[in-house]
């Protein structure tokens, strides 16, 4: 049966990668496009406490484990191609896939090491208040930090999805200048990632203050990385 061949292995990996990725990114967009704006309204402010206690923990479970399965299956696909197909790491396909993979890896790290630790504090604080206790003092700062990291992930998701989809379709095949491309890409990506790691105190976070600003910044990063690949590797 073809399912038990190497092609079958690829199909299973891609299938689980897509299922987990849709779950992860779908909840990411729900948080940023629906839940966070709703919490900023009068009705949302009233409903925030019960939702943080009742809805957010369940959503965060699917969110973080969707991220984990997407991360693991994605890198299994990459390593299988490098090992089994002996695909050169500087091939056009691999350059695009690894660009998406790098963005996805930063997104996964933000989920597990920034967003989820902060949300645990926010959820615990809401539960304490509901039980008649005092809010956890650090919860007031951890919520905005989780929100900013989540917006960074929304920004990253736009070029990440573009390069994953484009890997097999663009004619780009150049290998010259790949090192220079990665230098430029890493500098730009790390500059954006600093928003998630250093928190809301950065003055450069303004584009991430709104949904439209985040989307426009994501489209801009996509264009910048695409042009860098086209100009520096051909």
Q: H/E/C letters for each residue in the chain?
A: CHHHCHHHHHHHHHHHHHHHHHHHHHHHHHHHHHHHHHHCCHHHHHHHHHHHHHCHHHHHHHHHHHHHHHHHHHHHHHHHHHHHCCCCCCCHHHHHHHHHHHHHHHHHHHHHHHHHHHHHHHHHHHHHHHCCCCCCCCHHHHHHHHHHHHHHHHHHHHHHHHHHHHCCCCCCCCCCCHHHHHHHHHHHHHHHHHHHHHCCCCHHHHHHHCHHHHHHHHHHHHHHHHHHHHHHCC
Instruction: Find the helix packing angle between 6-29 and 139-166, rounded to 10°.
Output: 140
Band of residue 142 on the pLDDT scale cut at 50, 70, 90: very high
* Residue 118 reports pLDDT greater than 60: yes
Give the highest mean pLDDT range of 66-75, 129-138, 195-204, 207-216: 66-75
Q: What is the pLDDT of residue 171?
A: 57
Q: Would you tell me how many other CB atoms lie within 10 Å of the CB of residue 228?
A: 19
* Residue 117 reports pLDDT greater than 90: yes
Answer yes or no: pTM beyond 0.85. yes
Residue ranges per domain, the chain?
Answer: 2-232
Query: Which residue would you say has higher pLDDT here, 7 or 49?
Result: 49
Band of residue 166 on the pLDDT scale cut at 50, 70, 90: confident
Interval 38-62: pLDDT, tens: 999 999 889 999 999 999 999 999 9
Counting other chains too, the contacts that 3-7 makes at CB distance below 8 Å and 24 or more residues apart are: 6/84
Interval 205-216 mean pLDDT: 86
Band of residue 204 on the pLDDT scale cut at 50, 70, 90: low
Query: Which residue would you say has higher pLDDT here, 140 or 103?
Result: 103
Q: What is the pLDDT of residue 127?
A: 95
* Residue 87 reports pLDDT greater than 60: yes
Interval 120-135 mean pLDDT: 93
The CA-based diameter of the chain, rounded to the nearest angstrom, is 64
Band of residue 172 on the pLDDT scale cut at 50, 70, 90: low
Q: What is the pLDDT of residue 93?
A: 82
d(CA 108, CA 40): 26
* Percent with pLDDT over 90 in the chain: 68
Q: What is the pLDDT of residue 103?
A: 98
């Amino acid at each position: 049966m073809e399912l038990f061949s190497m092609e079958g292995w690829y199909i299973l990996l891609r299938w689980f990668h897509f299922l987990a990725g849709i779950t992860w990114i779908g909840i990411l967009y729900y948080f940023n496009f629906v839940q966070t704006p709703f919490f900023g309204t009068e009705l949302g402010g009233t409903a925030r406490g019960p939702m943080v206690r009742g809805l957010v923990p369940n959503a965060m479970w699917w969110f973080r484990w969707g991220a984990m399965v997407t991360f693991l299956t994605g890198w299994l696909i990459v390593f299988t191609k490098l090992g089994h197909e002996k695909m050169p790491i500087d091939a056009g396909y691999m350059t695009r896939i690894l660009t998406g993979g790098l963005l996805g890896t930063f997104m996964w790290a933000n989920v597990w090491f920034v967003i989820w630790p902060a949300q645990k504090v926010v959820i615990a604080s809401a539960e304490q208040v509901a039980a008649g206790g005092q809010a956890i003092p650090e919860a007031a700062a951890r919520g905005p930090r989780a929100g900013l990291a989540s917006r960074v992930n929304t920004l990253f998701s736009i070029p990440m999805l573009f390069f994953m989809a484009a890997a097999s379709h663009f004619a780009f095949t150049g290998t010259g200048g790949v090192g220079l491309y990665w230098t430029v890409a890493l500098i730009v990506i790390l500059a954006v990632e600093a928003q998630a790691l250093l928190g809301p105190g950065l003055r450069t976070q303004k584009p991430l203050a709104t949904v439209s600003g985040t989307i426009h910044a994501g489209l801009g990063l996509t264009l910048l990385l695409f042009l860098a690949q086209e100009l520096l590797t051909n």
